[in-house]
Amino acid sequence: MPEATTQMPRADARRNRDALVAAAAILFAQQGEATTFEDVARAAGVGKGTLYRHFPTRDHLVAALVQIRFDELTRRADELNDSDDPGSAVDAWLREFDQYPVRSRGLRSTVGIGLADRGSAIATACLPMKRRFGQLLERAQSAGALRTDIDVTELLTVVASLPETFRDPEGRSPFLDVVLRGLRA
Amino acid sequence: MPEATTQMPRADARRNRDALVAAAAILFAQQGEATTFEDVARAAGVGKGTLYRHFPTRDHLVAALVQIRFDELTRRADELNDSDDPGSAVDAWLREFDQYPVRSRGLRSTVGIGLADRGSAIATACLPMKRRFGQLLERAQSAGALRTDIDVTELLTVVASLPETFRDPEGRSPFLDVVLRGLRA
DNA sequence: ACCTGAACACCGTTCAAGT
DNA sequence: ACCTGAACACCGTTCAAGT
């Protein structure tokens, strides 16, 4: 009979982690960056220490929150890699990326800062997405559709830094168009 | 003999205010947004209450800090209003604006957020600058050099929101070029 | 191995007492 | 009119004691 692997977390640990992420998602959506660690722990019904055990820093918690959407965006980049118009594919993908944090006020700038911070929890969470979208971007650049003096990290950081004010009812930034036009070769 | 006018602050009040702004400038340059109100009061050699009396909110203090450079930029916009190439004048002015907060880490995003927040201390501090640069912008738009679907506040907010990472040694953002290109009609 | 909550530190904010 | 610093509240962070 094999021993339980060390990879397998205890059932209560798993439950607590899920409750914390769920609570954080709701609170961040409501209050944005004003959300305190204490709020999250209380809403999840666990002690503060438990929150710290699962997420040693605020960035770790935010990373867990955005992970799901980033995974979706990674898959989306893969789909678009089949496109025969990589320039438009980059546009389309960035429009989706621009919209991802609409429901979590303030997270946008946190992600914008974390993206470029090598080794940070957020940067780690973004790695697969950066790799896949990076391929798409390079294809568009090789095809001569986009300027070549901008790399993936810079581009994602700028789009993630677009202000949350001035959004239309669908959450789109009027400025994304300016950036996309400016990117064209 | 005329009475002292109520506009005239007491000498010690004036001295304290100056000391607070000077201390804040140094501390923000060193530590950015991590600077605490307590730090500022201590470095200026005054009590916490005095800081609160002069600057009821953090935004009021930041507004005082950036006021000097904003006044410079306002004058610069006036100079450029004589230009016969308003499109290039807008470019030149935005390049200078992009550089203003380089010495104060973190202030950039504070200003970016405050700019669009009607009635905020920062928005008020920006009013003259917005008016003068707005004239320049409108001239460039009327001349057909720039797209007309972006207004002053949006434009300044976006440039002020450009990430502080990815700056060249002179503090220029590689992304300002992208924005400027995207702005062209 | 994981959870809890008390305990400590730090800082924002207020305000009674001073000059 | 303005200044001071003590006092309070809130929250981030740690950790000894539990299961």
Cβ separation of B166 and A150 shorter than 8 Å?
no
The mean predicted confidence, pLDDT, of chain B is 91
**CA dist A129 → A67, A85, A133, B82 (Å):** 10, 20, 6, 48
Helices A152-161, A174-183: crossing angle, 10 deg rounding: 160
Beta-carbon separation of B161 and A157 below 8 A: no
Distances (CA, A) of B122 to A155, B61, B64, B136: 28, 9, 8, 21
Provide the positions of strand C that have an atom within 7 A of a protein CB: 1-7, 10-16
- Asked if the model's pLDDT at residue B3 lies above 90, the reply is no
With contact defined as beta carbons under 8 Å apart, do A140 and A87 qualify? Answer: yes
Q: Is the pLDDT of residue B28 over 90?
A: yes
* pLDDT confidence of residue A104: 67
Residue bearing tokens 């770790």: A60
Pull the structure tokens for residue B102.
Answer: 């380089």
pLDDT, averaged in runs of 10, over chain A (185 residues): 58 95 94 93 97 96 92 96 95 93 72 90 95 97 95 94 87 91 93
SS3 content of chain B, % helix, strand, coil (to 5): 70, 0, 30
pLDDT score of B100: 76
Whether the CB of B176 is below 8 Å from some CB of chain A: the reply is no
Q: A101-111 pLDDT, tens per residue?
A: 655 677 888 89
Chain B residues 32-71 with Cβ under 7 Å of strand D are: 45-50, 52-54
